[in-house]
Amino acid sequence: MTMQDKVKELLELRAKARLGGGEKRIEKQHSQGKMTARERIQALLDEGSFEEMDMFVTHRCANFGMDKEHYLSDGVVTGYGTIDGRLIYVFAQDFTVYGGSLSETQSQKICKVLDAAMKMGAPVIGINDSGGARIQEGVNSLAGYSEIFQRNILASGVVPQISAIFGPCAGGAVYSPALTDFVMMVKGNSYMFLTGPKVVKTVIGENVTTEELGGASVHATKSGVAQLVVDSEEEGLQMIRKLLSYLPSNNMETAPEVECNDPIERVEDYLNSIIPDNPNKAYDMKEVISSVVDNGEFLEILPQYAKNIITGFARMGGMSVGVVANQPTYMAGVLDINASRKGARFVRFCDAFNIPLVTLVDVPGFLPGTVQEYGGVITHGAKLLYAYGEATVPKVTVTLRKSYGGSHIVMSCKQLRGDMNYAWPTAEIAVMGADGAVEVLYAKEIKAETDPQKQIEAITARKDEYNKLFCNPYNAARYGYIDDVIEPRNTRYRVIKALQTVSTKRLENPAKKHDNLPL
């Protein structure tokens, strides 16, 4: 063969590889509202930046007639490129080839990408669209999954890992996304579960559809597995780009700063009246967040799960920050098992990747009852406490209204190494609210009063006394637990100045093999 012939052969092989499982299977993929693996990568990365690796890899299985059929790339497209000019590693499973099922060689391709991302200190994005393990390869497929999981574990906290579920993801395949930092799902077109509807029916007799068992809405609202849910793949890929803009490339860097065209001294006068006079009345914490962050832009994480706590990314003065806030409009902002888990996971991610934490507090306590206690709310609440106490990133906390008892402690209090702890004049920082406190402190005195009217007057007087003594920010400020009581309308300026001041913070935890986080 001449050199021209060899070049021609190369180009033909490349064209063949790009067809995956062939035109008919590509058409079927498109008919289901799904892009192909390479189309997804092209839409995700900067135009023309993708460099594919291992295009000519094929499987090595000879069982069940597999030796008679080979497809170049073997069901996964791998390589690297850029997003906003920053290096990114990516793999995308190709459902047109054996249903994207995982073979030994496919796992080796994915492992190569994960290894390279670790070496280069770059984020890795996995796009999942697979029928699961390639049954024909037996234990080799299972070993392949295990190799991937091991790398996910080692990469955790070193480089950001994002999983996009753009099709099926079942059985052992679900554990790779579960080990990554963020999981995204598409409504109506993706699902995740360990055991499918048929197995569920056979084993426990429960009738359930694929969507009911593991659809995007389930994992966004009930399980908390999916941090982000989108209506289409195109929207999802753009959201991944947006998410990455808030994150550093690895744990040795800080997130990119952007030019801030929103004045840091901007005041929001309406914040001076946003807290209702009635302590039992709600207000929307998201309004507070949007008023203090740059340009009102906030990327919420797990927006439909445990809505009593808000987590997400924003910028303040051009700096990327992680925001954690109680939400009075949902369950009065009370902390429970799910809110604690959600908050703790987010705080630990931010700490791992050097993203400062801004905490907005309005929390009346932990949710009482047997459901919570039997479910281990003590341990789950300790996760949030542990996450804040362990975190060494800059931490700025603002208490807006209620901050009672144990819930006060776990929401980034001063004793958990909070750097700057502010309070609005409406803040109530105490062991408990006046109603409960009076019942405990003055029970005998009130019970001794036989006249009902005088009993009411005594209760009211004691409540007023307790509120004056404890349900305000000044008692905590007197002890230095609050660094300053600030005017609400100046919150943006005060938080940004605090973040700028503590940006050079240096703090290290004691040397250890690893911690023993309460799980």
Q: What is the pLDDT of residues 82-124, one digit of tens each?
A: 999 999 999 999 999 888 888 889 999 999 999 999 999 999 9
Q: What is the DSSP string of 384-427?
A: HHHHHHH--S-EEEEEEEEEEHHHHHHTT-GGGT-SEEEE-TT-
Give the model's pLDDT for residue 444. Answer: 72
8-state DSSP, 512: -
Are 220 and 304 in contact, with CB atoms under 8 Å apart? yes
pLDDT of residue 182: 98
Domains of the chain: 3-245 (3.90.226.10), 269-432+471-504 (3.90.226.10), 434-470 (no CATH)
Predicted pLDDT of residue 133? 80
Task: Please enumerate in sequence order all residues whose Cβ is within 8 A of that of 45, keeping only pairs 6 or more positions apart, or say none.
Answer: 81, 82, 83, 88, 90
pLDDT tens-digit map of 47-72? 999 999 998 888 777 677 676 778 88
Report DSSP state, residue 30: H
What number is the average pLDDT over the span 209-234? 95
**Percent of the chain's residues with pLDDT above 90:** 76
141: pLDDT strictly greater than 90: no
Higher pLDDT residue, 466 or 327?
327
Find the mean pLDDT for residues 269-281. 94
Residue-wise pLDDT tens digits, 16-28 = 888 888 888 899 9
Please report, in angstroms and rounded to a whole number, the separation of the first and last CA atoms in the chain.
63
Q: Is the pLDDT of residue 442 over 80?
A: no
Confidence of residue 165 (pLDDT cuts 50, 70, 90): very high
Q: Which of 129, 132, 140 is nearest to 61 (CA)?
A: 140
pLDDT at 78 > cutoff 90: yes
pLDDT digits (tens, 9 = 90+) for 277-310: 998 899 999 999 999 999 999 999 999 999 999 9
- The pLDDT assigned to 364 comes to 94
Cα distance between residue 22 and residue 390, in whole Å = 52
pLDDT in tens, 145-157: 999 999 999 999 9
Maximum CA pair distance of the chain?
Answer: 110
pLDDT at 269 over 90: yes
User: pTM of the entire structure?
Assistant: 0.94
Given a cut of 90, is residue 319 above it in pLDDT? Answer: yes
Q: What is the mean pLDDT of residues 392-412?
A: 96
Return the H-helix or E-strand segment holding 315: strand 309-316
Give the integer Cα–Cα distance in Å for 102 and 136. 10
pLDDT number for residue 443: 67
Query: Tell me, what's the pLDDT at 300?
Result: 98
Q: How far apart are CA 356 and CA 322, in angstroms?
A: 6
Average pLDDT, the chain: 92
